[in-house]
Amino acid sequence: MRRRFEAATEEAPAALKEPQQAGPPAIVADKASHRFAGDAGVYDLTFQVPRGVIFGLIGPSGCGKTTTVRILTGMYKPSSGNLTVLGEQPWKFTSSARGKIGYMPQQFVLYPMLSVGENFDFSAALYGLGAFHRAHRRHQLLKFVELNQQRHRITSKLSGGMQRRLQLACALAHDPELIFADEPTAGVDPVLRAKFWEHFRELRNAGKTLFVTTQYVGEAENCDLVGIMRGGRLLYIDTPQDLRRKAFGGDLIRIVVDADRAREAAQLLNGQNSVKDARQAYQQSGLLLVSTDDAASTLPELVTVLRDHGIDVRESEQYASPFDEVFLELVKREGE
């Protein structure tokens, strides 16, 4: 847990560390709404996506993720509010702006009777790539998604995962600056999902901006910025780490002591100024979860306090709770 949390922090892109140097944001939404008949739609979307980051839009099925992507790609015009993508209003995109955007739809929409290479060429030609350029990009991207060996295979004969990878390669054919991937990992096995996120990170590291939607809450870990959506509204936007802090009122520390002294340890920790809340957790006997403003500086201090009182500390670490818990906590808070 600790390793994963630190890895995410280390990989935080320059755009988040020094946003002023990353240039204007790729996406700026200001109270953008799109209403369908009835109460369906998305409402008051306000957020910014800096360039060179992976923005993950997370939420349950039907919460408005695809509608948001469609607004951002210019398929829908917002009913109200302002929206710019790469500096232009999406519903008025020029050809040049469209050429900077890659789109991976939720379903596999390519032609089943064409080969992998032909589908790629077709997608590339939609963006005006000539034959020589296409051939170069085909080789590069099919290798990137590990489909080079299958380039002559008929697409209908590919597995679902291969089809999704082909769809990704097609979305990247014209080397877009901004990539929209609508639930790219839906219905995909965990190994391939991990592969997808690896591809996304590589693209991010190459300077691309990615806007990825997913209903797998745990995938938020892979994003630099996460938007949590529910019922057509964006509830939170932050880095995964800060969302965790928001969910639990700060950093979490995990301490394991003797089970028969756990209650005493919790009372002791709750008496410390640096501790916001300390409580026994029931996943494991003797487990305490401690909420604090800054886990890194507080952890040694708390261990010392416990040991000074003769309580044996068996394990102690900064705790990155699974994002499913974070999501549930945040949604619960919003409900309250």
**Shortest approach of other proteins to residue 120 CB, angstroms?**
11
Per-residue buried b or exposed e for 294-304, using 16+ beta carbons within 10 Å of the residue's own CB: ebeebbeebee
Binding-site string for other proteins from residue 128 to residue 147, where x marks contact by CB under 8 A and - marks none: xxx-----------------
- Should residue 36 be labelled a site residue for other proteins when binding is judged by CB under 8 A? no
- Pick between residue 61 and residue 96 the one whose CB is nearest to other proteins: 96
Applying CB under 8 A, among 21, 61, 96, 283 the residue interacting with other proteins is 96
Q: How many residues does the chain have?
A: 336
**Shortest approach of other proteins to residue 103 CB, angstroms?**
4
- Should residue 98 be labelled a site residue for other proteins when binding is judged by CB under 8 A? yes
Helix 160-171 crosses helix 190-205 at what angle (to 10 degrees)?
Answer: 10
**Shortest approach of other proteins to residue 77 CB, angstroms?**
9
- Report the distance separating Cα 25 and Cα 87, nearest Å: 8
Q: Are strands 209-214 and 225-230 parallel, antiparallel or unpaired?
A: unpaired
- Should residue 175 be labelled a site residue for other proteins when binding is judged by CB under 8 A? no
Among candidate residues 266, 334, 279, 276, the one with its CA nearest the CA of residue 305: 266
150, burial (CB in 10 Å: exposed 0-12, middle 13-18, buried 19+): buried
- Should residue 109 be labelled a site residue for other proteins when binding is judged by CB under 8 A? yes
First to last CA, the chain: 29
Applying CB under 8 A, among 33, 73, 292, 318 the residue interacting with other proteins is 73
The owner of tokens 């992507």 is 69
- Report the distance separating Cα 277 and Cα 121, nearest Å: 58
- Should residue 40 be labelled a site residue for other proteins when binding is judged by CB under 8 A? no
- Should residue 117 be labelled a site residue for other proteins when binding is judged by CB under 8 A? no
Interacting residue ranges for other proteins, rule: CB under 8 A: 70, 73-75, 95-96, 98-99, 101, 103, 105, 107, 109-111, 113-114, 118, 121-123, 125-130, 154, 180
